[in-house]
Amino acid sequence: MTFRKLTPAEAAVIEKKGTELPFTGRYYRFDQVGTYACRRCGAPLFSSEAKFDARCGWPSFDRVLPGAVREQPDADGHRVEIVCAACRGHLGHVFRGEGFTDQNTRHCVNSLSLDFVSATDAPTLAIGTLADEGQSPGAQDDRPAMAYFAGGCFWGVEHLLQQLEGVITVRSGYMGGHVPNPTYREVCGHETGHVETVEVVYDPTRVSYEEVAQRFFEIHDPTQANGQGPDLGPQYLSVVFTQTPDERDTVRRLIQRLMDRGYEVVTRVEDANAHPFWPAEAYHQNFLLRNHREPSCHGYVNRFGD
């Protein structure tokens, strides 16, 4: 991946995880329409529609573009750091529960970590695009890919898949049902047909789809037909939503390997293109990380003998 040349001040924030002085950044008092991108690699991060004034001294956003930002524990042991999902450059921190907007989320970002692209140029941006003089805007090799898995409570699946090297970010949500944009209450009430699902954004140059899928089979019990652990019900079933024939063949090959080893696998394989992914409510995202908890229904088991 090609990076832009940074000024010493930009490098101090993006690479050394520093923080610019409050009320000094160029984008704090800035209200043009467009897209905010990563200063180092050019990947789009935030829409101007998500920007709001939190009066904190730094640009604030209550939403991110899908798959654009990764959350991880901050070195201080208390806060949650946010980094660019494409290049891992430091952006700032995310805070929840403050009540500034309906999203109840504040991504507090350093202006030095950002570039702004006006609305007329924004359509050329895509996750992983390298806005560098020597890189074609249409290049695909470095763009993250997505995968979709359901294996019980999405808190545990999300938490453990985030730990796989090459995974950029994981988002909890719902797939497989017939009701648009379902709520958690509706899904738990068995009114929508959805299963709790995670959307995995990963770097295919660092980890393959097969490796991500194999890890999925190793962190939940693919032989349990009525849920996962003590979480019982149709919303907790084991399902892989595949987007291409290659993904479907990969999952079926992994299932056959497990069956050859004596596992009675009940995981369903369904077409992701026929089932939209609906993100879960904000309070579900990174639930275990934010609450300093470990999964109770999920854990790693080496089922393939590799």
- 108 among known catalytic residues: yes
CB 227 within 8 A of CB 154: no
- Residue 202: partners with Cβ closer than 8 Å, 6 or more residues away: 144, 145, 146, 147, 164, 166, 167, 168, 209, 212
Q: Is 153 a catalytic residue?
A: yes
CB 209 within 8 A of CB 147: yes
Alpha-carbon distance values, 34 to 50, 64, 128, 300 (Å)? 10, 13, 18, 42
Residue pair 166/295 in contact (Cβ under 8 Å)? The answer is no
CA distance linking residue 161 with residue 168, whole number of Å = 10
Active-site annotation holder among 38, 84, 87, 108: 108
Determine which one of 38, 153, 188, 297 is catalytic. Answer: 153
CA distance 211 to 254: 10
- How many contiguous H segments (helices) and E segments (strands) does the chain have? 6, 17
How far is Cα 225 from Cα 48, in angstroms, rounded to an integer? 45
Catalytic residue positions, numbered? 108, 153
